[in-house]
Amino acid sequence: MRPCAIIAEYNPFHKGHAYQVEETRKNGATHVIALMSGNFVQRGAPALFDKYRRAHMAVLGGVDLVLELPSVYALSSAEFFARGSVDILNRLHGISMLSFGSEAGDLGTLSRITEIVSEEPDEYRLLLRKYLDLGQSFPGARSKALEALLPDIPPGVLSSPNNILGVEYLKALRKTASSIEPFTIRRQGAGYHEEDLEKSLPSATGIRKLLLDGGAAEGLLPDSSGEELARLLSSGYSMVTLESCKDLLLYRLTVDGDCLSNLPDASGGLCERMVQHSHLIGTSGVSSFIEAVKTRRYTHTRISRILMQFLLSFDRCDLDSLRRGTPGAVKILESTPRGNEFLASIRKDTEIRLIHNFGREIDEYHALDSKASKVYGLLCRDYDASWDFKGYI
């Protein structure tokens, strides 16, 4: 057996994802296991479709097993997103490979970058501090520091979203001395943020925009996944967006705005800035609020993630400790017979329980995931949070 993991969001599962699964099998994977964000995703938003529907579309698209990435990691920066994901995969004791897409498509180039950000030599630290002091966001400052140290690498390589995440995967594998073998697949078709639907493999960003504008996206997804999506939409499924959170966010910021400072990501005056502009959520909407708050240092994505963390009451836990820890269990969202074969092969060795429902005995990770599920249920009339406890049917 050569089981391979893919860390994903599948928001929704499209042809680019199916291409990655196909290429992963061509590279020797006997089983494809997706560790997928739940109902809230890393860019700082609720998923357009709930985790069970997205997991089902992934299985229809060729994935053998879908596990849920706890929301503590799913709603974190690339570093903690990757660290938490890799730690879970390591502790499963059965994953042979990690497949990830990248704009570079070159493991050697990404490995050179990884060596610098892992070792953090003095020259790198000084350059990073220099650009941070000039008001750059951390991703921007890091990109400029790396450009200075690796002048032969094209600048776009150091700032492209999938490359950045790929470097964090490689860094996490390196720091944990993991036996998991990484390989990368060059991203095809539209870029991460591109909305051009004419390209052979449109981005999730473009597909989400099309769906929210009332368009039909079946032809942009693998056939079986597209049919499932069409079925959901024809039944009147209520897609969820950042604006769906408007009333809940306004309530929390009005009543508990001072608690924002408990979130590690809201440090350095950002908390006060967010509270000061919170009225804009009620008058203009969440997106307008984010535009008013963001600066060169505080990016749109960072503010969005903080909002989702606050919405889910992450301010009431020790988020730093949870990010550096490991959940006692991971939830199975959907599995095929081939997925069940993999589960049977690791049952005796895995350090993490694999569960179909949360049951009564859950740790703090799953307490937060349960809360995230209940909040999502308030936003989506077609989602029932009780599925997490009785198992989705």
CA distance 199 to 151: 31
Any known ligand binding at 12? Answer: yes
E-strand ranges in the chain read 3-8, 31-37, 40-41, 45-46, 65-69, 97-102, 181-186, 329-335, 353-355
Any known ligand binding at 19? Answer: yes
User: What is the number of other CB atoms lying within 10 angstroms of the CB of residue 43?
Assistant: 18
Residues facing 185 on adjacent strands: 101
The secondary structure of residue 232, as a DSSP letter, is H
Residues facing 184 on adjacent strands: 100
Any known ligand binding at 70? Answer: no
The answer to whether residues 35 and 8 touch, using CB atoms and an 8 Å cutoff, is: yes
Query: Looking at beta carbons, which pairs linking 357-365 to residues 24 or more positions away fall under 8 Å?
Result: 357/331, 357/388, 357/389, 357/390, 357/391, 358/331, 358/388, 358/389, 359/389, 362/329, 363/327, 363/328, 363/329, 364/317, 364/322, 365/70, 365/72, 365/322, 365/325, 365/327, 365/328
**Amino acid sitting at position 104:** A
Handedness of CA 212, 216, 219, 225 (dihedral sign): positive
Longest Cα–Cα distance in the chain: 58
Any known ligand binding at 13? Answer: yes
User: What is the number of other CB atoms lying within 10 angstroms of the CB of residue 316?
Assistant: 12
Any known ligand binding at 348? Answer: no
The answer to whether residues 113 and 355 touch, using CB atoms and an 8 Å cutoff, is: no
- List C-alpha distances in Å: 320 to 84, 190, 291: 12, 35, 27
Any known ligand binding at 10? Answer: yes
CA distance 15 to 21: 10
The answer to whether residues 163 and 104 touch, using CB atoms and an 8 Å cutoff, is: yes
Q: How many residues does the chain have?
A: 393
Any known ligand binding at 323? Answer: no
Any known ligand binding at 266? Answer: no
CA distance 302 to 215: 29
Any known ligand binding at 9? Answer: yes
Annotated binding site for ATP: 7-20, 101, 162, 187
Annotated binding site: 7-20, 101, 162, 187
